Chains A and B, each alone.
Chain A
């Protein structure tokens, strides 16, 4: 999505509108099994979402017909995808490997990948952040962090 889309159906707003419609329609199905009053609000919202997404779709397609270019969602799609991947990887690592090990690796890794490559600065920042977290949360507040599912008996 870094370049303006030539294909009318691949415009970001069109894709979003189609996605919202499809998901809302799928979520509407369970409301048929609920009591009327329980289903009232969710059904109203989902029907509203479907109607509004169709309006959004029509408005975006009208813009496409008028040769109005769709603005790209990001200037650097690889960096955005990389950032999301690293965040998800960090969460998974915390869950499976444990909080402290993941954090000690994650802080310098993310900063290094995205352009801060000063080894001393990275080491100092990691030490200060992880040390402060241990001191405040673990030692001070007895907060337990994930120890890692892999090491659980």
Chain B
């Protein structure tokens, strides 16, 4: 099982594949450092450009961007108190006070070392846990696969938080988009409206770019943010000199890594939740909790180690079951699919070199963070915040157009992408979650195909879906995922009401 992991190593170390990781990490740090741009957006824009590349080069770029962006978000969080990515919110709590005290350089070094440690731990978790899980899922038949798809959709809707109704609407929309095109069995046209371009269905890349890249670009143009940073006042020392001062964070690093890995595996949860949980736990365990929030470096370490520890681990359910743990993992699934790699158990059997190579790339990406995001680079990256956002927006628009046009060489796809972009903008502003749309598109077709296959095997008997233990276990898990958060919400509301009642009683 693990021999494939070692066999994949030489290929990853080839010049092109390794260079892809390096370029990805640098690009990720740049993107993450710019408030308003996220790893999800960067990978969405990148995916169409990877069509002509070897799968490992494309995946190396994605792994590098993901790792780099999670750290890059810390740069404006520390220097400006503006989190570059949602996962960097907790980094602002102590990072910004440190920068105000003239310790911004040290804060960024703590962030980069912690991010790297979190990323390394996460990559090891992916390497250790994904292969055995994939062996189990190899035993699944069509009805189990159908239920796994339903479980994936249910978990991302109900564990994501926010309004379940909006989550369900997003998922239904995604599944509906997945049925557009010719019916996979009968070949009947479904919602193509006579457009030949839609017969093959809607490419996930068009949807990804529209949903994830256009709304942030509109945001960039809507509120131009003026940032003034002076990288010379960061107080940066060489990173090797500051490392001994970080030794005392080892407990926080272990705790934060475990939290990040766990949150990453859970579908629907993400880096920001991991960072908050890790920060809170580290503060609770601290002997000096009163210093937290006033520039405590351990606070930066706690937040950054956890938000990077959820990167590779989010791919454990994504690669083995086809259920992404985070929005970025969902976009990465799209990236895998355009290279003809269907996430799921067969991926490990049919393309072990690619899937295990991808795991190594995550590990190398995390290690490279220290070197590329280290002291000298940190100063350079801090200057990026001064880039004019309208110019950045206009360049991204051009890249989006090129990327989408390049897929099939037709403008129809560009117009389709703009349509999805407009829908994505409205959804974003009205707080409809976007990951269920992507997951709906990925899993919708998958679920339909397996449902119909199961029904064919059962000669039209629907009870075939409930005839084995594995299916029943997945059904039970799906129900738990749906009912659990609803019960929890009711319990929390009841407790809040009771607390409010007792307070008003005391006041009277």
Contact = CB atoms under 8 A, between A and B. Distances in A.
16 contacts: A35-B183, A37-B452, A38-B186, A41-B448, A52-B168, A75-B223, A83-B222, A87-B214, A88-B418, A91-B401, A107-B395, A111-B388, A116-B390, A144-B409, A145-B402, A146-B411
B398 A46 contact: no
Interface in B358-413: 388-391, 393-395, 397-398, 401-402, 405-406, 409, 411
B145 interface: no
Nearest to B174: A45
B480 interface: no
Nearest to A128: B395
Contacts of B422: 84
B251 interface: no
B172 A48 contact: yes
B190 A110 contact: no
B397 A38 contact: no
A27 B191 contact: yes
Interface string A122-153: 10010001000100010001011110000000
A16 interface: yes
Given A38-B190, A42-B179, A129 B397 contact: no
A122 B448 contact: no
Given A49-B173, A83-B218, A95-B411, A110 B402 contact: no
Interface in A84-109: 84, 87-88, 90-91, 94-95, 103, 106-109
B168 A87 contact: no
B467 interface: no
A76 interface: yes
B390 A111 contact: yes
Contacts of B406: 137, 143
B165 A59 contact: yes
B430 A13 contact: yes
B473 interface: no
B394 A141 contact: no
Given A41-B175, A45-B444, A91-B401, 19 more contacts: A13-B430, A20-B169, A37-B186, A38-B183, A38-B185, A41-B447, A45-B172, A49-B176, A73-B426, A80-B222, A91-B414, A91-B415, A94-B411, A107-B398, A109-B394, A116-B389, A129-B395, A129-B398, A137-B406
Interface in A24-77: 27, 30, 34-35, 37-38, 40-42, 45-46, 48-49, 52-53, 55-56, 59, 73-76
B186 to A, nearest CB: 6
Contacts of A20: 169
B169 A49 contact: yes
Contacts of B183: 34-35, 38
Given A37-B452, A75-B223, A76-B222, A45 B175 contact: yes
B247 interface: no
Nearest to B448: A41
Contact of A38 (B188, B394, B414, B447): B188
Most chain A beta-carbon contacts within 10 A, residue among B176, B214, B455: B176
A4 interface: no
Contact of A84 (B185, B191, B218, B447): B218
Nearest to A31: B190
B185 A37 contact: yes
A3 interface: no
A90 B397 contact: yes
Interface in B165-199: 165-166, 168-169, 172-173, 175-176, 179, 183, 185-186, 188, 190-191
Interface string B127-170: 00000000000000000000000000000000000000110110
B391 to A, nearest CB: 4
A67 B398 CA distance: 44
Contact of A12 (B391, B414, B430): B430
Given A52-B172, A56-B166, A114-B221, A91 B411 contact: yes
A87 B418 contact: yes
A46 B186 contact: no
Contacts of B388: 111, 115-116, 118, 121
B179 A41 contact: yes
A143 B282 CA distance: 52
B120 to A, nearest CB: 33
Interface in B432-458: 444, 447-448, 452, 455
Contact of A52 (B169, B176, B415): B169
B52 interface: yes
B429 interface: yes
Given A79-B221, A87-B214, A133 B390 contact: no
A61 to B, nearest CB: 14
A146 B414 CA distance: 12
Nearest to B447: A41
Nearest to B398: A103
Contacts of A88: 418
Nearest to B411: A95
A146 B421 CA distance: 21
Interface in B448-490: 448, 452, 455
